[in-house]
Amino acid sequence: MPLPRIVRTVKGLRSTVQKWRSAGESVALVPTMGALHDGHMTLVKLAKRKADRTVVSIFVNPTQFAPTEDLSRYPRDEAGDAAKLGSAGADLIWAPSVEEMYRDGFATTIVPKGAALPLEGEFRPHHFAGVATVCAKLFSQSMADVAIFGEKDYQQLCVIRQVVCDLDLPVRIVAAPTSRDRDGLARSSRNAYLTAQERAIAPALNRALHGIAAIAAKGGLVNKAIDVATHDLLHAGFRKVDYLAVCDAETLGSFQTGSGRPGRVLGAAWLGSTRLIDNIAI
Ligand code: PAF
């Protein structure tokens, strides 16, 4: 497969997408920060089923990282990413510089509330404003009909759906199930930070979520299940548990067993210097 063309200016992106659209072709966007793994490739495959053309954005967005977070060490491998996207059949890579994305005088930010406030919102207070703003820009730059988001970042998916609905953005959000290694670990670019010993411990997070989900599904004592799971994670070698929570799957507000509404168990925990997140349906 040929390598997809890498486009670095909004003008260049728009002119290609306009040509596709004038020819009656639909466009899917897969927003990424690069360091692509098999999980991203499942998003690209889904995008190819949803539209005639697939644009993959690769942009490590500085505004969604706090000053203490891993922006400078975030893995980057554009050549490797391009090769993988070529094999997956993506049509175009949208890889703007920070200066192209945030031109001189940039002064507008979307600050989502609602689904953005709990969980990650408490631990990373400015994160979703950065994500919402860059995603709104990516949708507008690419003029995509459809955008594909992985359930791995489940709260991000809920926030993006909320932003698209609240701002009437003309893009359809499609969710892709979390891609996992055989031992249950959710695939993530940040897994590259794990030492061999940490990698062996990491699937305990997914097991902890399953333990909580089983209790929640039966209408059992969720707080007790969360305490047990927290203890198990620390015992397994996790350094800190930021949160384990049972939420309404759409609003991320409180979940009532038997309410007929879907539930979701979400968690974030530190393994050494790496913060892992995961979630599963109840
Ligand atoms: O999930 C990610 O990789 C990022 O948060 C996204 C959606 C590409 C926005 O920068």
Task: Give the 3-state secondary structure of residue 184.
Answer: coil
d(CA 69, CA 92): 30
| pLDDT at position 256 over 90 | no
Q: Which residues of 198-212 are buried (b: 16+ CB within 10 A; e: fewer)?
A: bbebbbbbbebbebb
Instruction: Kindly report, as residue ranges, where domains of CATH 3.40.50.620 are found in the chain.
Output: 5-176
| pLDDT at position 258 over 90 | no
The reply to whether ligand 1 has any atom less than 6 angstroms from the CB of 28 is no
pLDDT at residue number 170? 98
pLDDT at residue number 29? 99
Q: Cα of 126 to ligand 1 centre, how many Å? A: 14
Instruction: Kindly report, as residue ranges, where domains of CATH 3.30.1300.10 are found in the chain.
Output: 189-281
The reply to whether ligand 1 has any atom less than 6 angstroms from the CB of 91 is no
pLDDT at residue number 262? 95
d(CA 10, CA 100): 8
Q: How confident is the model at residue 2 (pLDDT cuts 50, 70, 90)?
A: confident
* 3-state percent breakdown (helix, strand, coil) of the chain, nearest 5: 45, 20, 35
Residue 44, amino acid: V
Give the C-alpha distances (Å, rounded to integers) separating 69 from 65, 114, 167: 6, 24, 29
Asked if 84 contacts 42 with a C-beta cutoff of 8 angstroms, the reply is no
pLDDT at residue number 118? 98
Task: Give the 3-state secondary structure of residue 249.
Answer: coil
Alpha helices for 23-101 (secondary structure H): 38-50, 78-88, 98-101
d(CA 141, CA 143): 6
Q: State percent of the chain over pLDDT 70.
A: 100
| pLDDT at position 101 over 90 | yes
The domain defined by 5-176 carries CATH number 3.40.50.720: no
The reply to whether ligand 1 has any atom less than 6 angstroms from the CB of 173 is no
- Which residue, among 165, 160, 191, has the nearest Cα to 40 in the 3D structure? 191
Q: What is the pLDDT of residues 146-160, one digit of tens each?
A: 999 999 999 999 999
Per-residue tokens: 146: 């459809």
Phi-psi region of 64 (alpha: psi -120 to 50; beta: other; left: phi over 0): alpha
| pLDDT at position 260 over 90 | no
The reply to whether ligand 1 has any atom less than 6 angstroms from the CB of 96 is no
Q: How confident is the model at residue 270 (pLDDT cuts 50, 70, 90)?
A: very high
Q: What is the pLDDT of residues 185-214, one digit of tens each?
A: 999 999 999 999 999 999 999 999 999 999
| pLDDT at position 257 over 90 | no
pLDDT at residue number 46? 98
Q: What is the pLDDT of residues 123-140, one digit of tens each?
A: 999 999 999 999 999 999
With 0.95 as the threshold, say if the pTM is over it: yes
Q: What is the pLDDT of residues 224-240, one digit of tens each?
A: 999 999 999 999 999 99
189-281, which class in CATH? alpha beta
d(CA 70, CA 33): 13
23: Cβ contacts below 8 Å, ≥ 6 apart: none
Q: Cα of 257 to ligand 1 centre, how many Å? A: 32
Q: Which residue, judged by its Cα, is nearest atom 2 of ligand 1? A: 32
Query: Which mutation among 29, 32, 64 tests ligand 1's pocket best, with the greatest number of atoms within 8 A of CB?
Result: 32
- Which residue, among 47, 43, 29, has the nearest Cα to 176 in the 3D structure? 43
Q: Which residues are designated catalytic?
A: 40
pLDDT at residue number 109? 98
| Mean pLDDT in residue range 82-96 | 98
The reply to whether ligand 1 has any atom less than 6 angstroms from the CB of 110 is no
Q: What is the pLDDT of residues 26-74, one digit of tens each?
A: 999 999 999 999 999 999 999 999 999 999 999 999 999 999 998 999 9
Q: Cα of 108 to ligand 1 centre, how many Å? A: 18
The reply to whether ligand 1 has any atom less than 6 angstroms from the CB of 188 is no
